[in-house]
Structure 1
Amino acid sequence: MDALATLDSFAPWEAAAVVVAVSLGAALLAEFVVLRAAQRFVTRTETKLDEIVLAELRVPLVASFALAGVFLLTRLDGVVAAVPVSERALEAFFGDPALTLVVVLWAWALNETVNRGVDYLQESGARYDFAPVFSNVWTLVVAVGTVGTVLYIWEIDVTPLLAGAGIAGIAVGFAAKDTVANFFGGVALYFDDTYRVGDFIELDSGETGTVVKVGVRSTTLLTRDEVMVTVPNSVLNATKVINQSAPSRRRRVRVPVGVAYGTDLDELEELLVDIALSESLVLDSPKPRCRFRRFGDSALEYELLCWVAAPTRRAKATHRLNRAIHDRFAEAGIEIPYPQREISVLRDADAAVAPSEPPAPDNGSPHATDGGDGP
Structure 2
Amino acid sequence: MITLLADLFEEVPAWQATLILVGVSVAIAVALEVVVLRSLLRYTSRTKTEYDYILVGELRMPVVVTVALAGVYLLTQIPTVNQNVLLTTEQLDMFFGRPSLSVIIVAWAFAANRVVNRFVEEVKDKGSRFDFAPVFSNVWTLVVFVGTIGALMSIWEYSITPLLGAAGVAGIAVGFAARDTVANFFGGIALYFDDTYKLGDYITLDSGEAGTVVKVGVRSTTLMMRDEVLITVPNAALNASKVVNQSAPQRRKRLKVPIGVAYGTDIDDFEALVLEIAESESLVLESPKPRMRFRSFGDSALEYELLCWVGSPVRANKARHKLNRAIYKELMNAGIEIPFPQRDVRVIPADGDTTSSQVPAETVLLDDPDSSGSVQAGD
Say yes or no: TM over 0.5: yes
- Distance in 2 (alpha carbons) for counterparts of 1:198 and 1:79: 68
The 3 A distance-change label for structure 1 pair 27 and 235 is same
Structure-2-length-normalised TM-score? 0.71
Q: Could you tell me which of 23, 31, 38 is aligned with 2:33?
A: 31
Match of 1:124 in 2: 126
**Structure 1 unmatched ranges of 5 or more:** 349-375
Relative to structure 1, the CA distance from residue 164 to residue 347 in structure 2 (aligned partners, 3 Å threshold; closer, same or farther) is closer
In structure 1, what is the Cα distance between the partners aligned to 2:60 and 2:321? 56
Which residues of 2 match residues 13-52 of structure 1 at below 5 A?
Answer: 13-43=15-45, 45-52=47-54
Q: Provide the C-alpha distance between the structure 2 equivalents of 1:337 and 1:244, rounded to a whole number of angstroms.
A: 32
- 1:337 corresponds to 2:346: no
- Structure 2 contact 206–241 (Cα < 8 Å) conserved: yes
1:203 aligns with 2:205: yes
1:306 to 308, 317, 321: 308
- What do the CA deviations read for 1:276-298 (whole angstroms, capped 9, x no partner)? 45556545544432212344566
Cα pair 1:259 1:334 within 8 Å, conserved: no
Provide the rounded CA distance (Å) in 2 between the counterparts of 1:281 and 1:45: 45
CA contact (8 A) 1:220 1:230 kept: yes
Change beyond 3 A, Cα 1:276–1:146: farther
Match of 2:373 in 1: none
1:157, CA displacement in angstroms? 0.9
Contact conserved, 2:82 with 2:92, CA < 8 A, in 1? yes
> Considering only aligned residues, what root-mean-square deviation do their CA atoms show, in Å?
4.1
Q: Deviations over 1:101-151 (max 9, x none)?
A: 332333343344345545644533386x68545555544443433332222
**Residues 258 and 4 of structure 1: CA distance in aligned 2, closer, same or farther (over 3 Å):** farther
The equivalent residue for 2:257 is 255
- 1:13-49, Cα deviation, whole Å (9 max, x unpaired): 4444443443344334433443344345445554444
Aligned-partner Cα distance in 1 for 2:228–2:65: 49
Identity of aligned residues (%): 56
Q: Give the Å deviation of 1:177.
A: 2.7
- 8 Å contact kept, 1:131–1:197: no
Cα distance in 1, alignment partners of residues 66 and 40 from structure 2: 18
Note the residue ranges of structure 2 that are not aligned, 5 or more in a row. Answer: 350-379
1:96 maps onto 2:98 in alignment: yes
Task: Please state which structure has a larger fraction of its residues in strand.
Answer: 2
Q: Work out the CA distance in 2 between the residues paired with 1:302 and 1:218.
A: 42
SS state at 1:53 partner: helix
- d(CA) in 1 for partners of 2:295, 2:279: 21
* Amino acid across the alignment from 2:107: L
1:207-222 superposed matches below 5 A: 207-222=209-224
Give 1:288's aligned residue.
Answer: 290
Kindly state the Cα deviation for residue 155 of structure 1 after the two structures are TM-superposed.
1.6
Alignment match, 1:162:
164
Contact 2:6 2:80 in 1 (8 A): no
Q: Which amino acid aligns with 1:171?
A: A
Q: Which whole-Å CA distance do the structure 2 matches of 1:16 and 1:334 have between them?
A: 107
Are 1:237 and 2:239 matched, yes or no?
A: yes
Q: Structure 1 pair 279/104, CA: closer, same or farther in 2 (3 Å)?
A: farther
Letter in 2 for 1:244: Q
